[in-house]
Amino acid sequence: MPLFARLYNFAHWLTQDRSEAEDLVQETCMKALKGFDSFHQGTNFRAWIYKILRNTFLTSRTGLKAAPVSLDSDEDAVVEPIAPGTPESILISSLDQQMIQKALAALPVQYREVILLCDVEEMSYQEIAETLAIPIGTVMSRLSRGRKAMRELLNDASIRSASRSIDK
């Protein structure tokens, strides 16, 4: 059953803790069972259940700590490319999964969740907008900024790793 394992993966990325992720998935399933009347047939079930999970997370201890950052003040501004001229494609392709996971974990939750929903869950912007209850323009701007932040983290990690190899 894809949603169970995928919901758990998403929950673990949000909470960064196995036990909290389990509680979050369990509570989400309980709420979904109780509140199934609020799900309208013909609408998106996946967006509905992810929305329950995400809202449950926001009211959890970890979620409350992560929530208050405002990231969307200038959402229409163009996100500048990172370090123009850097052969970034070579750097990123040489990174291992662990580095990518570390970079993803280091992002603010608001960026991490939108990137996970888009790139890992492969949701459309419309589905992400429904899940996070934000406009599509905000989905796009958070993705742009989140990916930029992630690429900067990956470039830094890659440069550190390269200089360690040279020092050896």
Partner 1 sequence: MTCDEVRGKLTPYVDSELPAGEMTELESHLRGCAACAAEALGLLQTKLATRAAGMRYAPSSEFRMRMEQMMQAKRKPAWWRIRFPRLATAAVAAVLLIGSIALWVNHSGRERELAEIADLHVTALASSNPVDVVSTDNHTVKPWFAGKLPFSFNLPELQNSGFTLDGGRVAYFERNAGAQLLFKLRKHQLSVFIFKNESGGFPSYPGTVTATRLEFHIETWSEAGLRYYIVSDAPASDVHALGELLRKAARS
C-beta of residue 53 within 8 angstroms of C-beta of residue 10: yes
Contact pick of 24, 25, 53, 129 for partner 1 (by CB under 8 A): 25
CA distance 65 to 155: 28
CA distance 83 to 87: 9
Structure tokens at 121: 């869950």
- Residue 47 interacts with partner 1 (CB under 8 A): yes or no: no
Find the binding residues for partner 1 in span 61-120 (CB under 8 A): 78-82, 84, 88-89, 92-93, 95, 97, 100-101, 104, 115-116, 118-120
Residue 141: which of 83, 80, 79 has the closest Cα? 79
Structure tokens at 28: 């989400």
- Residue 163 interacts with partner 1 (CB under 8 A): yes or no: no
Give Cα separations from 44 to 14, 40, 51, 105, 138 (angstroms). Answer: 22, 8, 11, 28, 20
Nearer to partner 1 among residue 66 and residue 115 (C-beta): 115
Nearer to partner 1 among residue 12 and residue 58 (C-beta): 12
- Residue 134 interacts with partner 1 (CB under 8 A): yes or no: no
Q: Where on the chain is the footprint of partner 1 (CB under 8 A)?
A: 1-6, 8-9, 12-13, 18, 21-22, 25-26, 29-30, 32-33, 36-37, 39, 45, 49, 78-82, 84, 88-89, 92-93, 95, 97, 100-101, 104, 115-116, 118-120, 122, 124-125, 140, 143-144, 147, 150-151, 154
